[in-house]
Amino acid sequence: MIRIGGVLVSPGEGGVYGERMIGSYRVWDPRRSKLAALALLGSEIDLAPEMRVLYLGAANGTTVSHVADYVEVVYAVEFAPRPMQDLLEVCRRRRNIVPIMADAGRPERYAGIVEEVDLLYMDVAQPDQAGIALRNLRFLRKGGTLVLMLKTRSVDVTQSPQDVLEETVRTLTAGGLSIRETRWLEPYHRDHAAIVCEAIK
Ligand code: SAM
C-alpha cells in the first residue's frame, strides 16, 4: 500500500466521503477505516492489482472504495438497505466493485456470483463473527488471507475483549486457519482487534 510522508493513500478518483487528496491520491483515514488502521499500526497486510477480494460488511463503501483502488475486483456484501444505497453510488464511479445485497451469514445466496478470492475481508459486528467467517471460507483460495475485524463488544459484552479475541482465535484455528497476526486497533478503534489468518486447506 502506498504512503506519502507517512500518510496512507490509495490511487483513485476522490469525492467518495469527503476524503482529502494529495495530488491524485486519496488519503485513507485510519479513524474511518479499520483496514487503514491495521496497515498504519505495522501489519504486513498488502493489496495488489491482481487480487480478488470478498468484502463482508461493505456499509457505505468507505473502505471498499480504497480497496478497489488497489485490486482487480471487490465483491462487496451488505445487508442493510440504507448503506447499500450509498454503496451503489460508489459503484457507479468504480467499475471493479460488485455490490451484493445479502446476509453474509448465508453465503449460499451469493455462491453463484462470487469467484475464488485471494482475500476475504470481514467487518460485520455480529455476535457470530467467527462462524460467519468460516462459512465464507468456501470462496477463499488455499493460501489466501482472511482479515477479520473483530468487534469484541458485539460478541459478548460480559467477557473481557482479550478473552473474546482468544476464543475467536481458537474457533478460527479449529476451522482450518493458521493465525498470522492479531492486533488491537487502538488508538483508532476501541475494543476492536484485527485477526489475520491464512487458509491452509
Ligand atoms: N467495513 C465498513 C467500512 O470500513 O467502511 C464498515 C462496516 S460497519 C462496521 C458494519 C456493516 O456490516 C454495517 O453496514 C452492517 O449493516 C453490515 N452487516 C452486519 N451484519 C451483516 C451481515 N450478516 N451481512 C451483511 N452485512 C452485515
User: Would strands 25-27 and 7-11 be described as parallel, antiparallel, or unpaired?
Assistant: antiparallel
- Whole-angstrom Cα Rg for the chain: 16
Among 79, 108, 122, 190, say which to mutate for ligand 1: greatest number of ligand atoms within 8 Å of CB: 79
The amino acid present at 24, given as its one-letter code, is: S
Residue 201 has pLDDT above 80, yes or no: no
Res 114 pLDDT > 80: yes
Residue 192 pLDDT: 95
Q: Are 48 and 71 in contact (CB under 8 A)?
A: yes
Q: 56 CA to middle of ligand 1, Å?
A: 7
DSSP state at residue 22: E
| Predicted TM-score of the model (pTM) | 0.97
* Residue 173 CB-half CA count within 13 A: 10
Q: The C-alpha cell of 57 is what?
A: 460488511
User: At residue 140, does pLDDT exceed 80?
Assistant: yes
pLDDT tens-digit profile of 45-82?
A: 999 999 999 999 999 999 999 999 999 999 999 999 99
The answer, yes or no, to whether any atom of ligand 1 lies below 6 A from the CB of 131, is no
Q: What is the reported pLDDT for 50?
A: 98
CA–CA dist 46, 140 (Å, integer): 16
Three-class SS state of 172: helix
Query: What is the rounded end-to-end Cα distance, in angstroms, of the chain?
Result: 27
Residue 34 has pLDDT above 90, yes or no: yes
For residue 88, pLDDT over 90 is answered with yes
Query: 35, 65, 78: which to mutate for ligand 1, most atoms within 8 A of CB?
Result: 78
The contacts of residue 86 (CB under 8 Å, 6+ apart) are: 59, 60, 61
Quote the pLDDT of residue 104.
98
CA of 59 to the centre of ligand 1 (A): 5
- Alpha-carbon gap, residue 61 to 99, rounded angstroms: 10
Average pLDDT, integer, range 31-40: 97
Ordered by where they begin, the domains of the chain are: 30-199 (3.40.50.150)
User: CA angle 29-184-52, nearest 5°?
Assistant: 60
Confidence of residue 143 (pLDDT cuts 50, 70, 90): very high
Q: What is the pLDDT of residue 175?
A: 95
* Residue corresponding to grid cell 480504497: 66
63 is in an annotated binding site: yes
Enumerate the β-bridge partners of residue 73. Answer: 52
Q: What is the rounded average pLDDT for all residues in the chain?
A: 96
User: Model confidence over 146-193: pLDDT tens digits?
Assistant: 999 999 999 989 999 999 999 999 999 999 999 999 999 999 999 999
Q: What is the pLDDT of residues 186-197, one digit of tens each?
A: 999 999 999 999
